[in-house]
Structure 1
Amino acid sequence: MFETDRLQLRAVREADFEKLRVFNNDVRVQKMMTRDFVVPFGDKLDELLRAGLSSALLYVIVETKDNHEFVGIALLFDLQKKNRDAMLGLGFLPEFWGRGYASEVVRFIVDYAFQQLALHRVTLRVYGNNAAAIRVYNKVGFVQEVVQRKANWIDGKWQDVIWMAVVDEDWEVSRKDDLKIVS
């Protein structure tokens, strides 16, 4: 189990599947995490979740430290071994948006990816209408690399899909800058 200041990041347990079903069937969450149609998931969801768990480099449940409330998930997936690049995925239940939890988790995952997994890059996709997430990713050191204009249909509008990444050299410099500020 991993910990941040306020959160625990732990392995998925069998008892989590009901929470994951509720999470993945929340329209507000689903439309920000997929480029597919937003539809209710039935029994097939468990099969999809298990496949995702087995293929992910890291897949953790995020919960509060104090009362173990389910906050959401974080994962590293689509590992490109030769290039040491993995995609970051993150999703929280809406009642936990805007509390600073995303910054905590993203910072931890990026630190872990570079320090423990020896990755060279962490890549992600975010929708152009998700300004809060873009601010979090920028704060942690992600840089916009590509914009796929009007590439995802959400709520009756086309949204850009923004590709962002942070590389180990830039992360290393930012960590040194953080240490200078503390000194």
Structure 2
Amino acid sequence: MMFATKRLILRELRQSDWPVILDMFNDYEFQENGGLDFTVPRGNEFIERWSGWAKTCLLFTIIEEKESLRFVGFTALHMPIAKNRDADFTIGVIRAQWGKGYGTEATEWVVEYGFRALNLHRISLWVTETNVRAISVYKTIGFAEEGRKMAGKWSDGRWLDQVMMGIVEDGRSLKNLERT
């Protein structure tokens, strides 16, 4: 299965993606910005565990540039309790692709697809308070801050808050999104 936005392709996970995914997760700044676990080198056991998680997602896509087919990152919607139609959103963008608007473009597409095609009621996420670029993207798309897990992440010698954000399909926090 493959989807497209203006500049991106969102496609299925392939075996050939694992080396670049492992490189992405072995980037110190990437781990510090996105992860909750210890920032440590990752290896094959990480790939096995992460692969198992990806298979349980409602939607999991690899993001590529449409023109060059270069790896950009991944998105995921994970819905552990289907009854509530509330999916947890995750996105990871390789550092070489930061600042190009790809995260915004992919997030907009996933949110719209989640509501329109997957019949979700809400989409939730957690983000570290220091990841101001991601928080700005989420707010631009229509996510609202719903709460904080105070001192929920130990990072670089200090405690940081984890910010919970959500967007609801009935428009309370959803901005109008153009279909691409």
Q: CA deviation at 1:95?
A: 1.4
Pair 14,171 (structure 1): closer, same or farther in 2 beyond 3 Å: farther
The question of 1:8 aligning with 2:13 is answered no
Matches within 5 A, 1:46-125: 46-125=47-126
What is the RMSD of the two structures over their aligned residues, measured on CA atoms? 1.8
Residue equivalent to 1:19: 20
CA deviation vs aligned residue, 1:122-178 (integer Å, no higher than 9, x gap): 0000110011101100000000001112211112222110000000011796328x7
Residue equivalent to 1:31: 32
Residues in 1 aligned to 2:160 and 2:95: alpha-carbon distance in whole angstroms: 20
Residues in 2 aligned to 1:49 and 1:168: alpha-carbon distance in whole angstroms: 29
Residues in 2 aligned to 1:173 and 1:78: alpha-carbon distance in whole angstroms: 19
What amino acid maps onto 1:155 in structure 2? D
TM-score by length of 2: 0.93
Query: 5+ residue gaps in structure 2?
Result: none
Residues in 2 aligned to 1:19 and 1:50: alpha-carbon distance in whole angstroms: 14
Query: 5+ residue gaps in structure 1?
Result: none
**Is the 1:151–1:158 Cα contact (8 Å) retained in structure 2?**
yes
**Is the 1:122–1:166 Cα contact (8 Å) retained in structure 2?**
yes
State the secondary structure of the residue aligned to 1:133.
Answer: helix
CA deviation vs aligned residue, 1:51-91 (integer Å, no higher than 9, x gap): 01211111111110111111111101143211000100011
**Is the 2:143–2:165 Cα contact (8 Å) retained in structure 1?**
yes
Residues in 2 aligned to 1:43 and 1:108: alpha-carbon distance in whole angstroms: 31
More helix by share: 1
**Is the 2:142–2:174 Cα contact (8 Å) retained in structure 1?**
no
Residue equivalent to 1:165: 166
Residues in 2 aligned to 1:82 and 1:21: alpha-carbon distance in whole angstroms: 33
Equivalent pairs, count: 178
What amino acid maps onto 2:51 in structure 1? R
TM-score by length of 1: 0.91
CA deviation vs aligned residue, 1:83-118 (integer Å, no higher than 9, x gap): 000100011111111111111011000000000000
